[in-house]
Amino acid sequence: MDSILYEDNPHWTEKNVYDAFVPREILAQAVSYLEARQVIALIGARRVGKSTIAKLMIKELLKNKEAKNIFFINLEKPEFIPYKHDAGYLSKIFDAYLKLADPDRDEKIYFFIDEIQIFENWEVFIKSKYENSHIKFIITGSNSSLLTSNYATVLTGRVLKLQVHTFSFTEFLTYRKVPFSTPLERTAHKIEIARMKDEYLKWGGYYDVISIDDEKIKKETVKNIAEDIILKDIVPRYSIKNSEEIRDLFYYIVSNAATVLNYYRLARKINIDAKSIKEYIAYFEDNFLVTTIQIYHTKLTEQIKSAKKLY
């Protein structure tokens, strides 16, 4: 256990360890929540940068907080998987941290938990520690329903939620070092900005993709991100028995984006029953793979009744 804790907390011995991380626009808002009482929840798809934002928050805390009072743990590590059905193991992790780091217990402890949805009933652990005003929780999760249903009931009024997305276009321009802040800069660099726009629309804003130049590797990276979400998140989380079926549906949707969604027509085309298709698409939305949008009507009642489009 000790080696895992040291591995996840290099800031205990090296204060500048997170200096190379790319800043994000959402960081200022996240940092502003650090002194609030509530749990901070960073919610977003796999590999959008939730862990990076958490570590940039740690970097900010290190300016005036003791390093040993800042604890980060990634629950996706293979060593923790055997215990994912035992929320009590989270207390063991926390106790191991207290013993190893020996933080100042008269000061606030900042407890960062990455990919918290890995553990069942994690919200019970959070609530059990929440009443201790010396512990501030910052959690990350990879599905939009992380704070709904049972979770919302247990943690009602105790969570500040921040939605984390891939790089925005302005973040993309900043990363590519293209000046755009003033009208003069936008005019002077309009050709380069237009070229960047085309690239952004083609590849999106995943850092793992935009940081690569080779197009073949870009394509493979995009595919790997999607398949990781399907096979590592959706399939085990919802106990799906036919992983090929749900993956085939996703690729069909990708190749037919912006079409009107009709479950029964789609079922006939790809030989998957309509009930399963409806469930799978809900899972895709819950894990940020697709978005359904209602067709616009001037009358709200007509819009509510209208079919949806998938993007």
**Has residue 173 been placed in a domain?**
no
Same domain, 97 and 144: yes
- Least Cα distance to 115 among 62, 164, 60 occurs for 164
Residue-level pLDDT at 300: 67
Q: Which of 165, 190, 212 is the last residue of a domain?
A: 165
CA-based max dimension of the chain:
64
Q: Contact at 8 Å (CB) between 79 and 121? A: no
**Has residue 181 been placed in a domain?**
no
Residue-level pLDDT at 279: 96
Range of the domain at 144: 2-165
- Least Cα distance to 249 among 224, 274, 225 occurs for 274
**Has residue 92 been placed in a domain?**
yes
Residue 47: how many CA atoms within 13 Å on its side-chain side? 20
Q: Contact at 8 Å (CB) between 189 and 178? A: yes
Same domain, 153 and 212: no
Same domain, 142 and 210: no
Residue-level pLDDT at 150: 58
Q: Which of 165, 194, 225 is the last residue of a domain?
A: 165
Tokens of 129: 């520690």
Residue-level pLDDT at 151: 59
CATH assignment at residue 107: 3.40.50.300
Query: In degrees rounded to 5, what are phi and psi of residue 9?
Result: -130, 60
DSSP state of 119: S
Same domain, 117 and 219: no
The amino acid sitting at 24 is R
Same domain, 6 and 139: yes
**Has residue 256 been placed in a domain?**
yes
**Has residue 19 been placed in a domain?**
yes
Same domain, 227 and 294: yes
**Has residue 49 been placed in a domain?**
yes
Q: What is the CA radius of gyration of the chain?
A: 22
Same domain, 223 and 112: no
Same domain, 62 and 111: yes
What predicted TM-score, i.e. pTM, was given to this entire model? Answer: 0.88
The amino acid sitting at 6 is Y
Residue-level pLDDT at 12: 97
Residue-level pLDDT at 297: 67
Report DSSP letters for 229-262, one per residue.
IIIIIIHHHTT-S-HHHHHHHHHHHHHTTTPEE-
Q: Characterize 284-300 residue by residue with b for buried, 16 or more Cβ atoms within 10 angstroms of its Cβ, and e for exposed.
A: bbbbbbbeeeeeeeeee
Residue-level pLDDT at 223: 95
Same domain, 217 and 153: no
Residue-level pLDDT at 97: 97
| Domains identified in the chain, total number | 2
Same domain, 26 and 131: yes
Tokens of 202: 């083609």
Number of Cβ atoms within 10 Å of the Cβ of 178: 16
Same domain, 154 and 236: no
**Has residue 159 been placed in a domain?**
yes
Low-confidence ranges of the chain (pLDDT < 70): 145, 147-153, 297, 300-306
CA–CA distances in Å: residue 169 to residues 1, 189, 291: 41, 15, 19
Q: Which of 165, 191, 212 is the last residue of a domain?
A: 165
**Has residue 193 been placed in a domain?**
no
Same domain, 151 and 233: no
Distance of CA 297 to the CA centre of its chain: 32
- Least Cα distance to 225 among 210, 238, 240, 237 occurs for 210
